[in-house]
Amino acid sequence: MTGGERGPWVPPAWVAWGAVAVALAFAAVSLVWALGGTVGLDTLGGEIERLGRARDPALLAANAVALVLKVLGGVLALALVQPWGRRLPRRPLLTLGGAGAAVLVLYGALQVTSVALVAAGVVVPDEPVGDRVLAWRLLLWEPVFLVWGLLLAGATLRAARLRPPGGAAAPRRARPPRP
């Protein structure tokens, strides 16, 4: 770089903290449901709500697995921006961040699109879906995957641009020599 040239844009650190917050908040919901709680099940509707209210063992186990994955997603986002994360192998960390972000964004976009098509009456589901359930799914449950994925993508990009391939963190600014 010469003169007034600047390096590539680096996302702010808050994107990683946002990914952590979404992951842990979403994990808390999975914990409640994995323990058999029914809070919020009425915002999902359909078979998932019925299975949750019946405390179906397969659904409880699926929520326990989801809980672990969401906590790990939060830890991954932290590893991308915390000093202790620099001790982890760079390539696998960035690969996990990128893959996780891609899966979350793709899943979130597909889910938001499918629910929006149902809400617009373009697609008619096998069983009726109430307006309340549609609203919750369209405004919270499905977009949260998309938002989480975008935040994780930002955290991964930040880590990739601030941490050179050699492993150490990139120098922030050269300090002037002390007199």
pLDDT, position 173? 52
pLDDT, position 7? 79
pLDDT, position 156? 97
Per residue of the chain (179 residues), give pLDDT as tens: 455 567 789 999 999 999 999 999 999 999 999 999 999 999 999 999 999 999 999 999 999 999 999 999 999 999 999 999 999 999 999 999 999 999 999 999 999 999 999 999 999 998 889 999 999 999 999 999 999 999 999 999 999 998 666 544 444 555 556 66
Asked if residue 94 lies in contact with residue 165, where contact means CB atoms within 8 angstroms, the answer is no
Query: What's the half-sphere exposure (Cβ side, CA atoms, 13 Å) at 86?
Result: 14
Interacting residues of 42 by C-beta distance below 8 A, sequence separation 6+? 49, 132, 133
Residue ranges of the alpha helices (H) in the chain?
14-34, 46-53, 57-81, 90-119, 131-136, 143-162
Distance, in Å, from the CA atom of 144 to the CA atom of 142, rounded to the nearest integer, reads 5
CA dihedral 53, 57, 58, 60 (to 10 degrees): 60
pLDDT, position 170? 46
- pTM of the prediction? 0.85
pLDDT, position 169? 47
Interacting residues of 145 by C-beta distance below 8 A, sequence separation 6+? 104, 105, 107, 108, 111
Distance, in Å, from the CA atom of 158 to the CA atom of 97, rounded to the nearest integer, reads 11
